[in-house]
Structure 1
Amino acid sequence: MSARRSATFLAGRSLLAELMFLLFKQPMLPKIVVDAAGKPAFADPSLPFFNLSHSGDRLLVVVSALGPVGCDIEINRQRRGLTALAAEFFSPTENQWIKAQPSPQRAFWQLWCLREALLKQRGEGIWAMQSIQIDPAQHTFSAECKGSHLFVSSTEGLILSVALPTSVSKLQHWRLSFDKSQLEKVPEPGWQQFKPQASPC
């Protein structure tokens, strides 16, 4: 593991530990195990579910006691081959929507992050991306399991997305203040919600 990846790994674990202490009164970060698909979880199944994502030096951590979660964060950046990726993994409807947006690049990352968050919640890899269909105009999605809802936000040059159980009705948002070295509650980043197209499975 490179020095940069090691630093990101440790920062993610540190942020998770802070959240577990603040929200669930855990004095130390509980033991973490990784399943066969590479998804981390607490070894104690009675503890909350969590997921982490990073892009550059930015981190996103999601924690919930109500069921499995997934998240993705991407810097809204140029990348070669975005059009080819969209053509391979996204539906014709999604590709048409991307082309019609004022910022096709941001639109691509929004759809990409939504998929990544849902796949991470389900413990699946990029190979399953085509199993997800998103209707950006209607803010709905279809997938094999309908027991989730998705949220996406574009803020401060970042695209954020989370996949949560439908039983989650309220999100709390915290940001690490480097000046004060503590978590501070912040307003929600303007989430757009995407609902499943059918009843929960």
Structure 2
Amino acid sequence: MGNTIGITVFEGAEELDFVGPWEVFTASAGLLERAGADPDRVVLVAADTGPVRCGKGLRVLPDATFADHPALDVLLVPGGRGTRRGAEDPQLLGWIAATAARATWVTSVCTGSLLLFVSGVGKGRRLATHWGFEDQLAALGADVVRDARWVRDGNVVSSQGVSAGIDMSLWLVGQLHSPAHARATQRFMQYDPAPPYAADV
């Protein structure tokens, strides 16, 4: 039986923070299914079923709500401007804490680490976040790692900003299945991030 991966979305979530991991996990699932293995299931989870407007205007429809989603093996929390409001939302924070307590892996991208920290899940853990938010997260008392695209502390895995979530998700696919399968997923996606910027003009 495959894993169930839940990605939470909220108003102001950064699009690539969750769409990048979504692509990784669903590409992985497709390759598994093609090979005759049980595929992982990926679901978008939000407070309700209404459209969610993300940070740059993309609107998405959740698959499930906080009240009716399937049991999650993996929880992913994206970042974006909406995390500042989310850090004061007891419903969202309570759901993250309760869901994290039952999940095998808890992950975040970008400033999603703020929600992990404020919910209590990330307290006492080493956390990565977007470079522009590192000082603010550290000022709250978090143990911020500043020199890694992603960092694992126990079952909590956090990544730096935006595209770093793809790297983290590929690593997690390697943990859920195998490094060889993660490499096959990366090849399928034609994801080759080095060098990060090759153009001179």
Normalising by structure 2, report the TM-score. Answer: 0.30
Q: Which has the higher helix share?
A: 2
Q: Which has the higher strand share?
A: 1
Normalising by structure 1, report the TM-score. Answer: 0.30
Instruction: Indicate the structure (1 or 2) with the bigger Cα radius of gyration.
Output: 1
